[in-house]
Amino acid sequence: MGALEQARSMLRRYRLGRLVAAHADRIETRAEGAHFIIDGTSGRLVMAVTRVLLELDEHTLYVPDECLPGQDEALELIVELSHEPHVSEELRDRHLAYHGHMRGGVWVCGEIVSGRFGDELFDGEDLRLVNELAECEARLCRACNGKAAELSTICHQRFGASGTVVGVDPFGLDVRVGSHVRRIEFDGRADSEAAAMAAIEQLLRGERA
């Protein structure tokens, strides 16, 4: 797997990062944990941030949170944050499904300007994750969660607890387990609703390609 695919895979895998902001003169710097989701129709990152951090000039998101011990090397993203246009109720509900209730803050969308992973640099366009299954994602989530016994079995096998599927893309599932979002990858890419459903059924049966 090349560096770009590793970076894209990391962005799909994690939903908790560390957002660092600074004035252009670098005199004032602030950092806070960032619980984000990806808007599957645009590839923008959606999160709630403090107003103090939003009003600083330069914003860098490290994924996963660089302060968490034992995590992989962080993906470094330069992001432009904006609370206009207004973050829709649908995206807020999606964020709630992933992360639960968040304390205050300003809802923003983050456009990825550029990224770095290891020694490799990428344009923001290369890291924009548009979900080809966005239109049918809700149906796929309901189908997964409707197979409660099978889903519980695989989540206990992998994570030690039951989970709820909160997202589906061509590469796998996002599963909320307690207060964390975990990732289950498909064996191969599923570019249509039918292919994704087949991959889900195979996964829940415990089969491998």
The values of phi and psi at residue 83, to 5°, are: -100, 10
**186-198 per-position pLDDT tens digit:** 999 999 999 999 9
Q: Kindly report the pTM of this predicted structure.
A: 0.91
Q: Do domains 3-127 and 134-204 have the same CATH topology?
A: no
**42-100 per-position pLDDT tens digit:** 999 999 999 989 988 899 999 998 655 555 588 999 999 998 778 999 999 999 999 99
Per CATH, the number for 134-204 is 3.20.180.10
Quick one: pLDDT at residue 35?
95
Buried b or exposed e, range 129-151, using 16+ CB within 10 angstroms: bebbbeebbeebbebbeebeebb
DSSP-derived letter for residue 135 is G
* Residue of 84, 190, 86, 96 whose CA lies nearest to 137: 190
* Assigned fold of 3-127: Pnp Oxidase; Chain A (2.30.110)
Measured distance CA(208)–CA(80) in Å, rounded: 40
**144-175 per-position pLDDT tens digit:** 999 999 999 999 999 999 999 999 999 999 99
- Domain borders along the chain are 3-127, 134-204
